[in-house]
Chains A and B, each alone.
Chain A
Amino acid sequence: MKRDLTTTLLGGATLVTLLIAVGLGLSAPLDINQGSLVRLMFVHVPSAWLSYLAYGGTGLFGLLYLIRRQRRWDRLAMASAEIGLLFTVVTIVGGMLWAKPTWGTYWVWDARLTTTALSIVVYGGYLLIRSLIDDPDRRARVSAVVGIVGTLYVPVNYMAVEWWRGVHQTQTLKLLDGIRWDAAPVYLPTLFISLGAFTLLYALLLRVRGVMAAREEAREERELMNELGAAQPRAEVARG
């Protein structure tokens, strides 16, 4: 098998930045109110960022599929949705662990929390609908449409803390109406390195999952052709 240098390099860079982020995070000074708990910020915020990135990716790759009609965009959209779901779960678990000592409970029906939980249903539905359509082109087209609509979730979730004042604090790093950082300045570099590490992690996971999906597809096609080669000269694809 051909050596894949890009994946190796990307993996190395991800590992190094993750280790730096862990080192910086563990050596960051304790917070005056939250003590050691503040370190959860370096996991919770980047995992939420990664899930946004991944859901944005599903919409973007879906759009690219609809424009270019190349199967690889569909594979990347699917990979991105799976990564997004995984890191939404990580975000929720990390958030729950943070909420118990600070808010006194694991879960509140706050707008941010509720919309985050909804994204699991939105993208769970995306993956569900993929599993129900057998014709690959049709599956790619329909799921691209569902994925693009699902991207609406990202701005709603991001703005949820502004629109519906709940328990969850508003953004610590304000991006709208001028950039502003609302925590102690000492935490800013660590958070940024952690965000960078998670961004690299997204690129790595996307690449690995995309390659895997391409191989799965090639195998399925090969098996189908072998079966059909024996029975029929013309391939008739089952409609889902």
Chain B
Amino acid sequence: MTAQPRPTGPRNPDGRSGAWAVIRAVAGKDLRVAGRTRDTLLATAFFAGLVLMVLGLALSGSVRTPDQGAALAAGAIWTALALAAAVGAQRAFAQEQEAGALEQLLLYPGPHGALYLGKLLGVLPPLLLVAAFTVPAGLILFGAAEAATAAGRAVPWAALALTTVLGILGFAAGTTFYGSVTVSLRAREALLPALAFPILVPAVIATVKATALLLTDGWSAEVGTWLTFLAAFDLGTVILATLLFPFAAES
């Protein structure tokens, strides 16, 4: 897995076009690697499915009411996705490190913050793909989709999709950033979740609450509040991480 950026790199290293070119080149390269080898995607999807299954085996027997089912489904789905995000984002910098390409990537002209954004954009699509299968699978496994249709309500797929996109963006932004911090440390696999999850907890709470509310009552003002909070969290994390990344990556 090599990390050679496209030969047509940024033409103007100082300007905005330079930053965009870096973002596009890094994200494009990562997506091409992900599309060709699919190992990260498969590992992440397998992991998310496994977590769902384990939680389903452990907890589904305790579901008594549809509300409980919705709460359990929301909790299980987002636990699986948070763990999967850590596994996926880990690879973003680890694969560069293993190929010995991280230093070249950092020497590449253009702002370092753009490198983080490029990596984030490279991590996002595979994670969204995993989420696109984890969310419906979780709803079916925990009987939350049936409960909604039995109560005469349609499952609010559009709102669920919005929650998923915002949630995954927050998870990916946090874990990718900590992935860059831990990449050259001993025991990085163990450290990344330990460092990233406490910071991600507000996002986990917001996604779980929004999903559970959507499943039980459909769209409401309260869901809107949670999603606004989530969007603010995403924006704050991306901005802070982009500003701090140059210090974390500098070698």
Identify the A interface with B (CB < 8 A).
66, 111, 114-115, 118-119, 121-122, 125, 128-129, 132-133, 141-142, 144-146, 148-150, 152-153, 156, 163-164, 239-240
24 pairs of residues in contact across A and B, judged by CB atoms under 8 Å: A66-B247, A111-B205, A121-B194, A125-B191, A125-B195, A125-B198, A132-B186, A133-B185, A141-B247, A141-B250, A142-B181, A142-B248, A145-B181, A145-B244, A145-B248, A148-B240, A152-B199, A152-B236, A152-B240, A153-B199, A164-B205, A239-B184, A240-B184, A240-B186
Taking the closest CB of chain A, its distance from the CB of B177, in whole angstroms, is 8
Identify the B interface with A (CB < 8 A).
177, 181-182, 184-187, 191, 194-195, 197-199, 201-202, 205, 229, 236, 240-241, 244, 247-248, 250
Give Cα distance in the complex from A129 to B182, angstroms.
8
**A126 to B, closest residue via Cβ:** B195
* Known A125-B194, A142-B181, A240-B185: A115·B244 in contact at CB below 8 Å: no
**B251 to A, closest residue via Cβ:** A138
The tally of CB-CB contacts under 8 A between chains A and B is 60
Residues on B with C-beta less than 8 A from A153 are: 198-199
* Known A141-B250, A156-B202, A240-B186: A148·B191 in contact at CB below 8 Å: no
**B186 to A, closest residue via Cβ:** A132
**B236 to A, closest residue via Cβ:** A152
Of listed B195, B197, B229, B248, residue having the most chain A CB within 10 A: B195
Once the chains bind, are B240 and A129 in contact (CB under 8 Å)?
no
Give Cα distance in the complex from A132 to B194, angstroms.
13
Taking the closest CB of chain B, its distance from the CB of A4, in whole angstroms, is 33
Known: A121-B198, A149-B241, A156-B202. 10 other contacts (CB 8 A): A118-B201, A132-B186, A141-B248, A142-B181, A142-B248, A145-B247, A149-B240, A150-B199, A153-B198, A240-B184
**B240 to A, closest residue via Cβ:** A149
Once the chains bind, are B199 and A122 in contact (CB under 8 Å)?
yes
Give Cα distance in the complex from A148 to B247, angstroms.
11
Contact of B195 among A119, A129, A240 (CB under 8 A): A129
Taking the closest CB of chain A, its distance from the CB of B243, in whole angstroms, is 9
Residues on A with C-beta less than 8 A from B197 are: 121
**A163 to B, closest residue via Cβ:** B229
Taking the closest CB of chain A, its distance from the CB of B138, in whole angstroms, is 22
